[in-house]
Structures are given as structure tokens and as C-alpha cells.
């Protein structure tokens, strides 16, 4: 799965179809009675504030993938509905509740999808504009929080969906792609020629709007664990925590040494404090499949993990570009584990601080060992969620800030080869599309596919940021190559 902007995805022209999620029990849904996750509550509050001051901060997490052959639109509709029925976080209705965020969940049988034919898209540019507009329709403050569609051609179809961050994360996208594709294969296995596939005009004859309620249900694996139940358990575990709690010692020490909970990105990006900038997005391959395999072997030979080798390489590259002799950053950590939540959709991400020395004379092996040790210390304190620590250790900042206070040092790595359905990613041209309307720093999402190591970058649109980012990525790649 490649993380790439939709503008760079090269999706061919075709007939545009949409499926809108609709409730069958009334527009307002049930009254909210359940509490939500830490990430969700903060995200919703930020969206409320942005709306109140007419300063919208928009984002989406979207995906696309290919189906080969003539598409069966009824089966595709059923597969998309299967996704929503399978993951209750997509059926939840969110509303403010007592200074927090509450939700209630529509039952699986209380939702349907309405099909709308959206017309022909005759050029790649039209496809891009259509997807940009459709992806951006999701709104934190409005239900539903997922929108779905397809671009249908005679011999292939691009399926897409877009979610607000409130209900998803990057790993969820791979889970959703696998759920949809698996359901579609199940539904079409017995009869590949029924329904819309017989129309002979890529679905145009079935262009009328209609509701798809129950329909056929594909064979499904075990029901995934509920993100909302996970969130409530997490909140219960931290309910009695106060600012002097010993569980916050790691966070407190990091805050005191760093001068705050948010470690600053240490290189010049040419930005002004307190301002958001238009984003620039790009994706590039840093190492081939063979090169990343060799790098992983070099890390293991030194007693370290590949992910920590990447972090060590980035720390060295930052130092070589003028950064400090101590690396301090934030690391997103997947909280799903390998049990009931392994294939659940939701925002299962905690963000943890990490720090380790990277002195001017330190070589790769030494920095890798320091990063590996720091990672172990970080993981030992993963039971405390970042939002909870922020609220207790910097309450004034927590209430005041609605996005990161400055360019933050941030390290993210995903091995997409380990996720559900990964064996089909290349054939399906599976893509993850992440977008934000504005930013004040630089974000690097490192990810590994069967084709190698890639980085998706979003940074502020300044001349200095372009120069800084290019030099940093070049130095990072050089460090990884030399370490192998």
C-alpha cells in the first residue's frame, strides 16, 4: 500500500458512482450516552473551535484500490455496506456531552447506502477534481463520517472511500480495503455475470438513485473488536489519574527537559509562529526492496529493530543538518495489538515522546543502540495516553491550543506488508491518501511496501521548507545506505 496524494495517483477516466450512507431510523439518530476516545474528544473540540471562529481546519484519511474486470455495482454496494456494518465506529453518531464527546451507535440494520450515478469523468484531471471534492466532503461535525464511491471503466474500477480522522487512522485504511475487496470477491464468486455487470455500459443503465438495505451478506471472518469499547476501557483505566500520579513521571521528565510536551522540529522551515500555511505533499522511494532488506539485516546484526534503525538514521541526518545532540520527538504507536482489535477500524493511536543522545562523534551503531533503549523506556509508559498527559501536565496549553503550537519533531513508520490483505496490495494498486488543509511544520510518514521504503511528506509551502526537507531526506537516505 502506497501513501500518496490523490493528485499523484494516476487514476484513469470513467463513470463516477457514489454511495451515500443513510440512517433508516431518523435523521438525528439516537441520543449520545457513551463516552468516546481521547483522540476523538480532542479532535471534535478542535473542529468546534475552528467552526466558531470561521477558521476551518479540514483533513481526511482516504483510500483507493482497483477491481479488475467488469464491475458488479450491486455487489460493490453490498461490500461497501458490509464495511460500515462490520465496524460500529463508522455507524456512531457523535455529539457534545457534558464538556466531552459522547456517541451512540446505530445498529447494523439501521443503515443503508444510497446509490447515485455522478456522471462521466472524461480526463484524469476531471477524476482528480472529482475525488478531491468527494474526499473533502467528510466533516468532523456532521454525520456520516465516511463517503464512498467508484470510477468505473469497461475492464477495471477504482473503488474509493474517505473518512474523517475522528473514526479512522492510517492502519484502518488497509483494514477497510481488505474488508471491501474480500466481501466483493465473496459476493461475486458464484456468479460473476449478474446485476450491473450485464448492463454492458459500465453501470450507466443502473444510474437511478436507490437504497440498498439488507441485500446479500458476504461471508465474513470473526467480528472485530469495538474501538468504542476499547476507548471506554482506556478511559476507565486512567479515570483516577491526577497530575502527581507516578505513571506520569516519564512524561513529566520529558516535558521538563524539553521545555514542553511538544518537541520542536530543530531545523529552519521559514515559518512564522502562530500561523498555518498551505501544505505541499509528495511521495518518493528512498530505498529499493533489496536495499531496505539489507538495511534491516544490518540493524539486526547490531541488535536493533529496523524501525529503530530508521529513527536512528533520521536523528543522525537531523544532527548533520544542524540539529541537536539529543534527539527528542513524538512517535505514534498502534494500540490494536494482535488480539480482538487487530482488524478493527478506529483511531487506535497513542503518541509517545522519545529522546536519546546522538552526539557529533556517534556512529550509526551507537545511535541505534540508544534509540532501541529509548524505545523500550517509551513502551513501558504506553499505558498513559498523550491527550490525558497533555490535559494534566499542561492544562492551560491543552485548553488554548487547537493544533500543534509549532513545527513538531515527529517520527512515523508503517510496514504495510504486515497488514490484512497486504498480499493483494500491489495487484490492487492500493493507495492511502492523507490530506490537511493547513500545517505549520513538516510531517514524514515512512512506509514499507513490496517495492521498498517510501516517504510521504507534507510540509509548509515555503522556499526554506523545500530546501530543508530536500537536504534532510538526502542525508537520511545516505545514512541508511552507508549503514547497510
Regarding whether 247 and 223 lie in a shared domain, the answer is no
Mean pLDDT, rounded, of the chain: 91
Do 247 and 226 share a structural domain? Answer: no
160 found inside a domain: yes
The pLDDT tens digits for 360-402 are 889 999 999 999 999 999 999 999 999 999 999 999 888 888 7
Domain containing residue 183? 2-199+212-230
For residues 169 and 292, membership in a common domain is answered with no
14 and 139: one domain? Answer: yes
Q: What confidence category does residue 210 fall into, taking pLDDT thresholds of 50, 70 and 90?
A: very low
Would you say 344 and 179 are in contact if contact means Cβ atoms under 8 Å apart? Answer: no
What number of CA atoms fall less than 13 Å from residue 201's CA on the CB side? 7
Distance CA 396, CA 416 (A): 38
Domain assignment present for 100: yes
- Total structural domains in the chain? 2
Q: What is the dihedral of CA 39, 167, 185, 17, to 10 degrees?
A: -140
235 occurs within a structural domain? no
Q: What is the distance between the alpha carbons of residues 44 and 469, in angstroms, rounded to a whole number?
A: 31
Q: Is the pLDDT of residue 34 over 80?
A: no
pLDDT the model gives residue 197: 39
| Residues 182 and 264 grouped into a single domain | no
> What would you measure as the largest C-alpha separation in the chain, in angstroms?
69
**Residue 99: per-residue pLDDT:** 78
Whole-number Å distance between alpha carbons of 351 and 29: 32
Do 261 and 219 lie in a common domain?
A: no
- Indicate if 175 and 267 belong to the same structural domain: no
Q: Give the CATH number, domain containing residue 26.
A: 3.30.559.10
Cell of 210: 436507490
Domain-embedded: residue 287: yes
Task: Report if residue 236 sits inside a domain.
Answer: no
Question: What pLDDT sits at residue 400?
Answer: 83
Same domain membership, residue 264 and residue 221 = no
**More confidently predicted of 211 and 471:** 471
- Per-residue pLDDT reduced to its tens digit, 131-176: 999 999 999 999 999 999 999 999 999 999 999 999 999 999 999 9
Higher pLDDT: 406 or 35? It is: 406
pLDDT at 208: 41
Q: 162 and 18 in one domain? A: yes
Given a cut of 60, whether residue 451 has pLDDT beyond it is yes
Q: Which of 62-71, 90-99, 255-264, 315-324 is least confident?
A: 90-99
Q: Is residue 356 part of a domain?
A: yes
Statement to judge: residues 341 and 291 lie in one domain:
yes
* Residue partners of 457: CB distance under 8 A and separation at least 6: 280, 281, 282, 283, 284, 442, 443, 444, 445, 469, 473
Indicate if the pLDDT at residue 409 is higher than 90.
yes
What span, in angstroms and rounded, lies between the C-alpha atoms of 180 and 82? 7
Same domain, 102 and 27: yes
Is residue 207 assigned to a domain? no
CATH, residue 308? 3.30.559.30
What is the number of alpha carbons within 13 Å of residue 13 lying toward its C-beta?
A: 8
3-state helix, strand, coil in the chain (%, to 5): 40, 25, 35
Measured over the CA atoms of residue 292, residue 297, residue 301 and residue 307, the dihedral's sign is: positive
Q: Confidence band (pLDDT; 50, 70, 90) for 216?
A: low
pLDDT confidence tier of residue 30, bands split at 50, 70 and 90: low
pLDDT of residue 199: 37
d(C-alpha 74, C-alpha 118), whole Å = 16
Residues 218 and 270 in one domain: no
Amino acid at each position: 500500500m502506497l501513501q500518496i496524494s490523490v493528485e499523484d495517483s494516476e487514476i484513469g477516466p470513467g463513470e463516477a458512482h457514489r454511495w451515500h450512507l443513510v440512517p433508516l431510523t431518523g435523521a438525528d439518530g439516537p441520543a449520545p450516552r457513551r463516552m468516546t476516545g481521547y483522540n476523538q474528544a480532542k479532535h471534535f473540540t478542535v473542529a468546534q473551535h475552528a467552526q466558531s471562529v470561521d477558521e476551518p481546519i479540514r483533513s481526511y484519511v482516504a483510500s483507493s484500490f482497483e477491481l479488475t474486470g467488469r464491475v458488479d455495482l450491486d455487489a460493490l454496494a453490498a461490500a461497501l455496506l458490509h464495511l460500515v456494518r462490520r465496524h460500529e465506529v463508522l455507524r456512531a453518531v457523535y455529539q457534545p456531552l457534558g464538556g466531552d464527546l459522547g456517541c451512540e451507535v446505530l445498529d447494523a440494520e439501521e443503515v443503508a447506502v444510497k446509490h447515485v450515478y455522478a456522471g462521466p469523468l472524461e480526463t484524469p484531471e476531471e477524476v482528480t477534481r472529482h475525488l478531491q471534492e468527494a474526499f473533502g466532503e467528510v466533516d468532523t461535525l456532521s454525520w456520516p463520517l465516511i463517503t464512498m464511491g467508484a470510477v468505473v471503466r469497461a475492464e477495471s474500477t477504482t473503488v474509493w472511500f474517505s473518512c474523517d480522522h475522528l473514526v479512522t487512522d492510517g492502519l484502518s485504511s488497509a483494514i477497510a480495503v481488505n474488508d471491501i475487496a474480500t466481501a466483493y470477491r465473496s459476493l461475486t464468486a458464484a456468479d460473476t455475470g449478474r446485476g450491473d455487470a450485464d448492463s454492458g455500459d459500465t453501470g450507466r443503465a443502473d444510474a437511478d438513485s436507490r437504497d440498498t438495505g439488507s441485500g446479500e451478506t458476504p461471508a465474513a471472518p470473526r467480528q472485530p473488536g469495538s474501538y468504542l469499547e476499547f476507548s471506554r476501557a482506556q478511559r476507565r483505566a486512567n479515570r483516577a489519574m491526577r497530575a502527581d500520579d507516578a505513571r506520569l513521571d516519564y512524561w513529566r521528565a520529558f516535558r521538563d527537559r524539553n521545555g514542553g510536551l511538544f518537541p520542536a522540529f530543530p531545523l529552519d522551515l521559514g515559518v512564522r509562529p502562530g500561523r498555518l500555511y498551505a501544505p505541499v505533499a509528495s511521495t518518493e522511494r528512498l530505498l529499493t526492496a533489496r536495499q531496505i532488506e539489507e538495511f534491516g539485516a544490518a540493524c539486526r546484526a547490531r541488535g536493533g529493530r529496523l524501525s529503530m534503525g530508521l529513527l536512528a538514521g533520521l536523528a543522525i541526518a537531523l544532527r548533520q543538518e544542524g540539529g541537536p545532540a539529543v534527539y527528542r520527538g513524538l512517535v505514534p504507536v498502534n494500540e490494536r495489538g494482535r488480539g480482538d482489535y487487530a482488524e478493527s477500524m478506529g483511531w487506535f493511536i497513542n503518541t509517545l515522546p522519545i529522546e536519546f543522545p546522538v552526539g557529533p562523534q556517534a556512529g550509526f551503531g551507537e545511535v541505534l543502540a540508544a534509540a532501541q533503549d529509548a524505545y523500550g523506556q517509551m513502551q513501558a509508559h504506553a499505558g498513559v495516553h498523550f491527550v490525558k498527559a497533555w490535559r494534566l501536565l499542561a492544562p492551560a496549553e491543552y485548553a488554548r491550543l487547537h493544533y500543534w503550537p509549532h513545527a513538531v519533531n515527529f517520527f512515523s513508520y508503517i510496514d504495510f506488508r504486515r497488514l490484512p490483505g497486504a498480499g493483494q496490495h500491489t495487484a490492487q494498486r492500493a493507495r492511502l491518501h492523507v490530506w490537511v488543509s493547513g500545517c505549520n511544520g513538516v510531517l514524514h510518514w515512512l512506509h514499507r511496501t513490496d517495492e521498498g521504503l517510501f516517504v510521504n511528506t507534507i510540509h509548509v509551502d515555503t522556499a526554506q521548507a523545500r530546501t530543508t526537507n530536500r537536504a534532510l531526506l538526502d542525508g537520511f537516505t545516505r545514512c541508511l545506505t552507508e549503514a547497510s
